[in-house]
Amino acid sequence: TLDGTTLREFTPSVRQLQPGVTEIGSTRGVSSHQHNPNIVLLRPGADQRQGQVYGLSMIYSGNFTLRCEVDQYGSLRLQGGIHPQRFSWRLAPGEWFETPEAALSYSAQGLNGLSASLHPFVRRRLTPRNWRGQPRPVLLNTWEACYFNIDEARLREIAETARGMGIRLMVVDDGWFGHRERADSSLGDWFPCETKFPKGFEPLRSFPLPLGIWLEPEMISPDSELYRRHPDWCLHAEGRVRTEWRNQLVLDMSRKEVQDYLIACVDSVLSTGIFTYVKWDNNRRMTQVQSEAWPAAQQGEVFHRCMLGTYRLFDHIRSCYPQVLIENCASGGGRYDYSMLCYCAQGWLTDNTDPVDRLTQQNAASIFFPPEVITSHIAASPNHQTKRATPAKLRQDVCALFNAGFELDVTALSAEEKRAMTEAAALFRDMQPLAACGRFMRLNPSVAPAKWFGWMVEDDERAVVAYFRPHCEQEAAYWTIPLYGLDR
């Protein structure tokens, strides 16, 4: 299983099945940082290169359970579906209920064989059609460069520098809307901040780069115009203190009027034609999951109805703005699953941009997800999350075979650093077509490697290998790196 928490999502966990039940799941309203909704069964001796493996991947972004049961005869049953806790659905005669789907997979060539089956499935059946087989733009996100301190002049300075470095798109992250100066206000007020953008979005048309924008539609701040107008629109238990986390509450996405309001907000942003990319965030779990819109007998439906409401928003964007690239984010990898890939051509794996930690996370995620949907950015050193200092070459190479981009202030770079980042952008542009269509393999045979990591992406014309030893080992022996697929 792929487990963890915020900043260390996709940590592989390998365990021996014993008589009884082994189960992972989520009751947080999203598929969660704690347990990704994918599981692999390995027969004895199976690893990355060899042996029989079976995979199950939920195509659902809400509460789920994956359950293995070994009975008294040694037989194994694997089940997956909506988590039964706090779930019920009232069906009248003649009505029907559509359960979530799952992808089942098998390989006799280990986890690399499983990926060789699952990656084409994602590319051909899940990813939005206009992004299938297409390289993603090499972009710069403004979050770690500016945090909330953005305005038109600051963004223009960053965009001009980024363009000179070969970056192809800039994403305006959090801080552009309402009266957003910190994390404690304005979610729900999706209009340009008057003090930061006094002329609205219009001046952004002349920016030297195409632009993307950050949204967190499913959330609401108590300090917002929306909350003051509609305090009943958040999930809450009547008579109880409303539980905030990150200074925010969760909108009741089961209500059509909430969905309609958010569709109008999204339209007001995207209909301008200024933004070709959306970073869609979701920064907290659901609590007090009760809705004033439904009777007591149907409160067990609210979790799932909220998920269906979110899907309705995504369906609207996909149908009305098919040219817009959506990146899935949920405080990092809190809702990183196959269902989100039906709407989002890529996903932000984790808010942890430390390249050493990313080795483990990207290695594990690549079992189920092809490299072009795994976004990986060069960030500053020392890293903003772990404070670890790493060389630019390491930060570059950890990103290069995935959906690579930048998450740092390019205007603060020295001449030498800017030259290194410009070279990295050129490398990323060169690698993107291979990442989007190539065959990806993990070279270390261990199911959960630690000492070294090796990746290889190849097509019918070339192969690219990346090899990492993140920690020094004194007097280490020479290591042989096995390569695959070169006889094609």
Active-site residues, by number, are 281, 351
- Of 352, 345, 368, 390, the C-alpha closest to 442 is 368
Spatial distance between the Cα atoms of 199 and 153, rounded to a whole number of angstroms: 12
User: Can you tell me which residue has the tokens 């070709």?
Assistant: 276
Pairing of strands 64-70, 453-458: unpaired
Spatial distance between the Cα atoms of 9 and 332, rounded to a whole number of angstroms: 8
Spatial distance between the Cα atoms of 305 and 330, rounded to a whole number of angstroms: 19
Spatial distance between the Cα atoms of 174 and 142, rounded to a whole number of angstroms: 8
- Of 80, 33, 78, the C-alpha closest to 53 is 78
User: Within 10 A of 181 (CB to CB), how many other CB atoms are there?
Assistant: 14
415-437 and 392-400 are packed helices; what angle lies between their axes, rounded to 10 degrees? 20
Residue 234 token pair: 């958040």
- Of 482, 427, 485, 488, the C-alpha closest to 454 is 482
- Of 365, 368, 360, the C-alpha closest to 349 is 365
User: Within 10 A of 85 (CB to CB), how many other CB atoms are there?
Assistant: 12
Residue 93 token pair: 């005669």
User: Can you tell me which residue has the tokens 């659901």?
Assistant: 286
